[in-house]
Structure 1
Amino acid sequence: MSRRPASLSRRLGEGASVPFMGSLNPKSRPSPLLSVGLVLVGAFLIIGYVYSGSGGSNGDKAALSRLGGFHHMCTGGVSCTAEINQALPYLKKAYGDSMHKILHVGPDSCEAVSKLSKEEDTEAWGLEPYDLDDSDANCKSLIRRGIVRVADIKFPLPYRSKSFSLVIVSDALDYLSPKYLNKTLPELARVSSDGFVILSGYPGQRRVKVAEMSKFGRPAKLRSSTWWIRWFVEMKLEENEVATKKFEIAAAKKGYQSSCQIFHLKSLN
């Protein structure tokens, strides 16, 4: 998938064409050996077709797997918060020491914080954008200890400037209108010191949690990368080009392709 500053493009391999023998002279009488040869060639072609249809080569399997994954992604829904776990190795390559104190902003923040906290030398905090009706014992414990807070992100975030080295926001900005993005984006830049990362869905994708619509007060508005980049420019937010490059190189080495758009932005000076 072409994600411009975000991630890498998806490519599917093209099947090679099968060469055929030239046409026979209709006036000549085919020899028995030629007939046998044609039968054998036809048999091999049929076997090859059946084999390839069942997933023959590794290249075909990979292409079909990627295609199948994309279909599942579009029809089954996407959680960009869950995508953080997949992107984590490449985020570590991009940010290095800046991963020592992280704030996650978005739904399922308890789960994100629990996973991030398992990383060595990483201190993770969370901000849930809406009230938690049903939360497990672990989430209640994180909230009770103040590690995860519940706050409306349409208003100033309840943290001092540069409280966190890195801020990761997922599945939250898609629900904000431009009016509130004007307020929230600068806040994300304010509370981070080494940059912030936005994970956003692609246009046409279905969100995993339909119930979130009522809690946010509006359905998700999935925007294109062009829309986001134009908005960042209008907000005078700069791309973190160093982090973007490191992330893309690390992802390319492992063939990682995100199901979400990933933007790397600089903090406020």
Structure 2
Amino acid sequence: MSRRPTGLSRRLGDGASIPFMGSLHPKSRPSPFLSIGLVLVGAFLIIGYLYSGSGGNGFDKAALSRLEAGASCSSEIYQALPYLKKAYGDSMHKVLHVGPDTCAVVSQLLKEEDTEAWGVEPYDLDDSDANCRSLIRKGIVRVADIKFPLPYRSKSFSLVIVSDALDYLSPKYLNKTLPELARVSSDGFIILSGYPGQRTFKVAEMSKFGRPAKLRSSTWWIRFFVQNRIEENEVAIKKFEVAAAKKAYQSTCQIFHLKSFL
């Protein structure tokens, strides 16, 4: 049973004073510091309102969202999609996305004209929404550990896009996973990886990945590709860079265009 805080009411009844109560007395004079503080708070509120309403000199709400959540290469796919279509053309008709938030990525890809899309979610979906559960029920999205062979036949997809997943794998498992990405694709696969020093997820979300992300430099990735005889797709790289340059698009993630195995 809880005890009632009778001591406070008894002290009030005895006429004892309460700290800061004097500032509320009608005859007391307001502190000049209090007035200055109220003016500053009001100014900040007005500035915040103007920025939220007008965009504030190019202030990007989407960029703020990505910054707050950590730079997500899965969300970067939305910005890169027009340039990927320029680079791959017909190869974008049958796409597999591998990585967290794949339900959202697949849903976006399905909105594209003449595009079929599937997804692999490498991590448990504890709080999936109705749309994601529907995609899983239909077999469009699968939950699978990418440390093991992917549950698809060879060359099942024209293009495979993987984001925010390989950064959590050690080289031991990368040696197994990258050949799998190449195996299930016919026209190539794309890797989106964070830059070293970049945080890809909130600290609170780290537990579901089992280990923190290890973001590697482009030099590390290129050396790894060479060692595993995975070739870069020079044609796709050139087309992507030309399309991106026309719109001054700069990715917040590293994007690697790779060939499938013959």
Q: Shared fold by TM > 0.5?
A: yes
2:171 corresponds to 1:174: no
2:182 corresponds to 1:196: no
Q: Which runs of 4+ in 1 moved over 6 A?
A: 69-75
CA RMSD in angstroms comes to 2.2
The structure-2 alpha-carbon separation of the partners of 1:248 and 1:108, relative to structure 1 and needing over 3 Å to count, comes to: same
Map of 2:132 onto structure 1? 139
Q: Percent of pairs identical after alignment?
A: 81
Distance 1:225 1:237 in 2: 14
The structure-2 alpha-carbon separation of the partners of 1:146 and 1:211, relative to structure 1 and needing over 3 Å to count, comes to: farther
SS at match of 1:208: coil
Per-residue deviation, 1:216? 2.1
Distance 1:100 1:211 in 2: 36
2:209 maps to amino acid = F
Per-residue deviation, 1:77? 1.8
Map of 2:94 onto structure 1? 101
Distance 2:67 2:131 in 1: 31
Indicate if the aligned counterparts of 1:74 and 1:206 stay in contact, CA closer than 8 A: no
The structure-2 alpha-carbon separation of the partners of 1:78 and 1:95, relative to structure 1 and needing over 3 Å to count, comes to: same
Distance 2:65 2:135 in 1: 33
Distance 2:130 2:195 in 1: 33
Distance 1:90 1:83 in 2: 12
SS at match of 1:126: strand
1:239 maps to amino acid = E
Map of 1:185 onto structure 2? 178
In our comparison, the structure showing a higher alpha carbon Rg is: 2
The structure-2 alpha-carbon separation of the partners of 1:142 and 1:70, relative to structure 1 and needing over 3 Å to count, comes to: closer
2:74 maps to amino acid = T
Map of 2:24 onto structure 1? none
Distance 1:103 1:210 in 2: 28
The structure-2 alpha-carbon separation of the partners of 1:218 and 1:110, relative to structure 1 and needing over 3 Å to count, comes to: same
Distance 1:153 1:178 in 2: 13
Distance 2:68 2:105 in 1: 24
Structure 1 residues not aligned, in runs of 5+: 1-63
Map of 1:235 onto structure 2? 228
Indicate if the aligned counterparts of 1:116 and 1:122 stay in contact, CA closer than 8 A: yes
SS at match of 1:167: strand
**After superposition, where does 1:24-39 map in structure 2 within 5 Å?**
none
RCO higher in structure (CA 8 A, sep ≥6): 1
2:64 corresponds to 1:90: no
Map of 2:11 onto structure 1? none
Indicate if the aligned counterparts of 1:75 and 1:206 stay in contact, CA closer than 8 A: no
Distance 2:89 2:68 in 1: 35
Q: How many residues matched? A: 206
Distance 2:204 2:92 in 1: 32
Indicate if the aligned counterparts of 2:155 and 2:185 stay in contact, CA closer than 8 A: yes
Map of 1:210 onto structure 2? 203
Indicate if the aligned counterparts of 2:66 and 2:72 stay in contact, CA closer than 8 A: no
Per-residue deviation, 1:214? 1.8
2:238 corresponds to 1:245: yes
After TM superposition, the score normalised by the length of structure 2 is 0.74
Distance 1:74 1:228 in 2: 25
